[in-house]
């Protein structure tokens, strides 16, 4: 049995959606980041990074959305959550997921986590102020060049869709209007119709 550690409102939603799409049995464990649950010794023993998500498997703990998403997709080929038989397409999907993890998510983190990069209070404010611009620039790129439609990879739904949905959900809080990106907005609405997404959002709510 898998155990999945997540926090409401976090990037862990991407992996939570994938778990629900896969049909894998898992036990959800909810952390509250604002309470510092992720820095408690019992959680650090599971994930020393002090971050969510973490997926406990019978072979060990997996962290990082990109790894967890690929693991879920490969564990349940019948769920068709990734182009498993095509190395190029699989790499394209991972390229999308890597852009989300290494650029979009990092843009967003400058709003509330500036202290990771500087102790200078003025610099933290400057970083915060830049978030609407960097998020909008990333989403313009996704809208114009990356989201093939109707799903990220084209006709086939993949784990990348839940990751895009998770980032798009953050846009209002980052002061970016989703209406600026009609393809992303339509994708977001399409995602909300999926039973697995509804279930993941309900699990997140607790
Ligand atoms: N690259 C990691 C990022 C994980 C991450 O930063 N998670 C955030 C939530 S979105 C977190 O746990 N933050 C808690 C903290 O910084 O204390 C992934 O994609 O899994």
Domain 2-80+199-205, CATH:
3.40.30.10
User: Mean of the pLDDT values across residues 169-197?
Assistant: 98
User: Mean of the pLDDT values across residues 98-108?
Assistant: 98
Give, using CA atoms, the residue closest to atom 15 of ligand 1: 51
pLDDT score of 172: 98
Give, using CA atoms, the residue closest to atom 12 of ligand 1: 51
For a mutational test of ligand 1's pocket, the pick from 7, 51, 162, i.e. the residue with the most ligand atoms closer than 8 A to its C-beta, is 51
Question: Who contacts 100 (Cβ-Cβ below 8 Å, separation ≥6)?
Answer: 14, 65, 160, 163, 164, 167
Token pair, residue 176, equals 């970016």
Please give the number of the atom of ligand 1 that sits closest to the Cα of 10. Answer: 10
Whole-model pTM above 0.95?
Answer: yes
- Calculate what percentage of the chain has a pLDDT beyond 70: 100
Q: Where are the domains of the chain?
A: 2-80+199-205, 87-194
Q: What digits encode the pLDDT tens for the residues 124-152?
A: 999 999 999 999 999 999 999 999 999 99
- Domain 87-194 part of CATH 3.40.50.300: no
Q: Are strands 26-30 and 54-57 parallel, antiparallel or unpaired?
A: unpaired
Give, using CA atoms, the residue closest to atom 5 of ligand 1: 51
């Amino acid at each position: 049995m898998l155990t999945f550690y997540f926090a409401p409102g976090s990037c862990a939603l991407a992996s939570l959606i994938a778990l629900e799409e896969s049909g894998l049995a898992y036990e959800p464990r909810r952390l509250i980041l604002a309470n510092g649950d992720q820095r408690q010794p019992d959680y650090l023993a599971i994930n020393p990074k002090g971050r969510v998500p973490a997926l406990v498997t019978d072979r060990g703990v997996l962290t990082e959305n990109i790894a967890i998403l690929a693991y879920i997709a490969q564990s349940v080929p019948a769920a068709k959550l990734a182009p498993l038989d095509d190395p190029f397409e699989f790499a394209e999907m991972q390229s999308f997921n890597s852009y989300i993890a290494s650029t979009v998510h990092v843009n967003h983190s400058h709003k509330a986590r500036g202290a990771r990069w500087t102790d200078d209070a003025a610099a933290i404010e400057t970083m915060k102020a830049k978030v609407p611009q960097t998020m909008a620039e990333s989403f313009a790129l996704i809208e114009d060049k990356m989201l093939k439609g109707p799903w990220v990879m084209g006709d086939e739904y993949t784990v990348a869709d839940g990751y895009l949905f998770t980032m798009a959900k953050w846009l209002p809080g980052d002061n970016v209007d989703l209406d600026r990106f009609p393809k992303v907005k339509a994708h977001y609405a399409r995602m909300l119709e999926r039973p697995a997404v509804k279930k993941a959002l309900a699990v997140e709510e607790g």
